[in-house]
């Protein structure tokens, strides 16, 4: 039993990220302050641990650009495929869990993509809210799956056998 605990401790210690893309973006939100931690600063640091606004903007831009490129080159499934590939890239490059940022960005990109792409249909049929909700749900699901599979590949490539 203690051998397994030692093995897990060693594997956690060996998972050092040499250079992930989100280190520079999070310097101001994760740095430790020398003052006494208050309840507000503790809650703020816990929120920053799960959701970084600066990184959200980067993830949103990546997903929006790749979603638009995908829909330009591949009809019908290109936009969702671009969102998945963008989120996969975020999971592959980032050293931390970025599910929150990717889910919100994927939902926004999916909702905006469906709304802009089907604006005439949504206006005529009166189902604008339904179509936007479907696009947002698809974007969230694809973004979370993309980050999951990207992180899984990263662990598979960096973990010792």
Q: Residue 140 has what pLDDT? A: 96
Which of 78, 31, 83 is CA-nearest to residue 59?
83
Chain CA centroid to CA 161, Å: 27
| The two three-digit tokens of residue 148, written as one number | 């999951």
Q: Residue 30 has what pLDDT? A: 47
Dist CA 109 CA 113 (whole Å): 6
Band the pLDDT of 108: cuts 50, 70, 90: very high
| The two three-digit tokens of residue 82, written as one number | 């671009």
| The two three-digit tokens of residue 90, written as one number | 């975020």
Report the chain's C-alpha Rg in angstroms. Answer: 19
Q: Residue 149 has what pLDDT? A: 96
Q: Residue 96 has what pLDDT? A: 84
Task: List pLDDT tens digits, range 134-146.
Answer: 999 999 999 999 9
Name the residue with tokens 């979603």.
67
Decide: 139 and 83 in contact? Cβ < 8 Å. yes
Task: List pLDDT tens digits, range 19-40.
Answer: 555 555 544 444 444 555 565 6
Dist CA 117 CA 99 (whole Å): 26
Decide: 135 and 110 in contact? Cβ < 8 Å. yes
Band the pLDDT of 119: cuts 50, 70, 90: confident
- HSE-up of residue 144 (Cα within 13 Å, Cβ side): 11
Q: Is the pLDDT of residue 133 over 90?
A: yes
**Which DSSP letter does residue 96 get?**
S
Task: List pLDDT tens digits, range 47-105.
Answer: 777 788 888 999 999 999 999 999 889 888 889 999 999 999 999 998 888 899 999 99
Dist CA 58 CA 52 (whole Å): 10
């Amino acid at each position: 039993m203690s051998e397994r605990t030692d093995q897990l401790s060693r594997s956690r210690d060996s998972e050092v990220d040499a250079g992930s893309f989100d280190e520079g973006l999070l310097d101001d939100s994760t740095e430790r302050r020398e003052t006494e931690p208050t309840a507000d600063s503790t809650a703020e640091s816990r929120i920053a641990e799960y959701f970084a606004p600066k990184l959200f903007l980067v993830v949103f831009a990546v997903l929006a650009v790749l979603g638009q490129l995908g829909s330009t080159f591949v009809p019908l499934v290109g936009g969702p495929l671009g969102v998945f590939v963008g989120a996969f890239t975020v999971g592959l490059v980032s050293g931390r869990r970025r599910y929150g940022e990717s889910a919100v960005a994927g939902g926004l990109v999916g909702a905006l993509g469906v709304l802009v792409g089907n604006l005439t249909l949504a206006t005529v049929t009166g189902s604008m809210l339904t179509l936007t909700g479907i696009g947002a749900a698809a974007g969230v699901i694809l973004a979370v799956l993309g980050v999951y599979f990207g992180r899984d590949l990263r662990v598979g490539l960096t973990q010792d056998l």
